[in-house]
C-alpha cells in the first residue's frame, strides 16, 4: 500500500455562508492524500496501473465548481466523488482550507479535515 499526495491545489470558488462570499468568491487550498496499491505500477511503469493524478484533480475541480454554504459540504462531496470514481483508492485524507475567511480578524484560514476508509 502506498500513499499518494496532491498538495496545495488552489481554487477560486464561491463557497460560504455569507452572501458576499457567494458573490465575490474566495480562495481555497486543498491537500489530498490517498492510499492505493501501487505495486503493479512500480514494476510496469505504466500509468494505467495506478490512479491517474490528473483524473483525481479533475474530479476535485468539478466539485469545487459547485457552490456550497459550508466547506464541510464541499469536502464531503469531494471524498464521496473520489471513492465513487476510483475503486483503487482505499482511504482518503482531505484538508480543505478557506483562505482569509471573513471572520473579523486576521488569519491565514480555516480548514476542515476529513479522513475516511472504504
The SS3 of residue 71 is: helix
Looking at the annotation, which residues are catalytic? 98
Answer left, alpha or beta for residue 42, where phi above 0 means left and psi between -120 and 50 means alpha: alpha
Report the candidate in 89, 118, 114 with the shortest Cα–Cα distance to residue 31.
Answer: 114
Distances in Å between the alpha carbon of 87 and those of 31, 79, 81?
A: 20, 12, 11
Amino acid at each position: 500500500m502506498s500513499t499518494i499526495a496532491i498538495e496545495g491545489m488552489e481554487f477560486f470558488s464561491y463557497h460560504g455562508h455569507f452572501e458576499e462570499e457567494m458573490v465575490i468568491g474566495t480562495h481555497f487550498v486543498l491537500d489530498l492524500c490517498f492510499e492505493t496499491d501501487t505495486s503493479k505500477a512500480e514494476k510496469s511503469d505504466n500509468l494505467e496501473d495506478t490512479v491517474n493524478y490528473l483524473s483525481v484533480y479533475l474530479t476535485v475541480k468539478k466539485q469545487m465548481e459547485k457552490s456550497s454554504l459550508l466547506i464541510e459540504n464541499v469536502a464531503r462531496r469531494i471524498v464521496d466523488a473520489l471513492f465513487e470514481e476510483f475503486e483503487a483508492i482505499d482511504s482518503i485524507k482531505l484538508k480543505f482550507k478557506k483562505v482569509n475567511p471573513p471572520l473579523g480578524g486576521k488569519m491565514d484560514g480555516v480548514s476542515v479535515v476529513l479522513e475516511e476508509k472504504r
